[in-house]
Amino acid sequence: MTAPTIEARGETWPLKEAFVISRGAKTAAEVVVVTISDGEHRGRGEAVPYARYGETVSGVLDDIRRVAGHVSTRTNLATYLKPGAALNALDCAFWDFESKCTGVRVAELAALAPPVAKATSFTLSLDAPATMADKAAQVPHLSLLKLKLGGPGDGDRMRAVRAARPDARLLVDANEAWTIDTIENLISVAAECGIELIEQPLPADQDEALRGIDRTVPICADESVHTAADIPRLAALYDAVNVKLDKAGGLTGAIALVREARRHDLKIMVGSMVATSLAVAPAMLLASEADWIDLDGPLLLAHDREHGLRVENGIIYPPEPELWG
């Protein structure tokens, strides 16, 4: 049988408005799309190069093209690529290709539970407290909000959003912006505001500082966790982990990460980068395993790709086969 062809390209998808976190702002989603084809069937995967780890669109495309002639199935991808965006795009494209060739949905191929619809968090970009409160009030139909925080003023941001939306479930993501000197006070404010989860408060190289902190609000690792191999080191320091396919190395790595986290009694958030529905679709297969999902990337775009995921009142639905899987 002839090996399938592998093609990769970069795409730019404008956002509705600037997406701001503690490390900076973006106005477009820069993604990499892999297409695998045998002339009759086509599989696709999308990934987002993560600048936090030195990835770029051009670098990820170079990595994919470098290995394209050496891989013909997903089973040997990890031999050639470390976990990251390139491995994610190829892994997801091979899963989709296998599904299209066999007519069997990816959830069944991967021995996962049937995918379910679930409430996704909706992200409020880092801004002044009053502005974030106003934006929270503008989406009364969304019940789960995630606040991007940035250090100074974060206590005021949490209090302002809680006052504006006393009904909402709230998560916060500090993106490594808190310090050892401020974290305990900010955790106290989060508890006061009824925050459900604090994501990555300290820089990843300061994980050990969490060992002596009273976690009255659960703390979730994001930048600190990539793959299943990280879990034994983090299990005593965190209460939850954010599983992102771009870090784990695709759906294959994400499944392993979820299973290892559960073995260590950690809660699960399934997240994604700002991307189109094609990138989010594989992550939806893990929704039934998750305590929270943060898959609102397509909602932040000015427009999504064809056959995008259905999202109604904050509930996101599994992908149709025309999109992926």
pLDDT of 22: 67
118 is catalytic: no
C-alpha 284: how far from chain center: 10
Average pLDDT over residues 152-165: 97
How do residues 198-245 score in pLDDT, each as one tens digit? 999 999 999 999 998 999 999 999 999 999 999 999 999 999 999 999
pLDDT of 1: 52
Of 28, 36, 42, 27, the residue nearest 9 (C-alpha): 36
| pLDDT at 24 > cutoff 90 | no
C-alpha 258: how far from chain center: 13
How do residues 132-156 score in pLDDT, each as one tens digit? 999 999 999 999 999 999 989 999 9
Q: Distance between terminal CA atoms of the chain? A: 23
* More confident site: 322 or 26: 322
Q: Hey, how many other C-beta atoms are within 10 angstroms of the C-beta on 158?
A: 24
| pLDDT at 20 > cutoff 90 | no
Give start and end residues of each alpha helix (H) in 224-312: 231-234, 245-248, 250-263, 277-283
How do residues 245-298 score in pLDDT, each as one tens digit? 999 999 999 999 999 999 999 999 999 999 999 999 999 999 999 999 999 999
Residue type, 147: L
Given 26, 244, 247, 267, which residue is catalytic?
Answer: 244
Average pLDDT over residues 79-89: 96
244 is catalytic: yes
> Residue 16 corresponds to which tokens in the numbers above?
């509705």
C-alpha 139: how far from chain center: 22
> Residue 256 corresponds to which tokens in the numbers above?
């392993």
**E strand or H helix that includes residue 10:** strand 5-21
How do residues 111-120 score in pLDDT, each as one tens digit? 999 999 999 9
DSSP 117-143: -EEBPEEEPS--HHHHHHHHHT-TT--
Reported as a pLDDT band with limits 50, 70 and 90, residue 159 is very high
Residues 147 and 132: beta-carbon distance below 8 Å: yes
Domains in the chain and their CATH numbers?
A: 5-103 (3.30.390.10), 118-316 (3.20.20.120)
Q: Work out the mean pLDDT of the chain and round it to a whole number.
A: 95
* More confident site: 212 or 107: 107
Given 146, 148, 247, 267, which residue is catalytic?
Answer: 148
Partnered with residue 19 across adjacent β-strands are 26
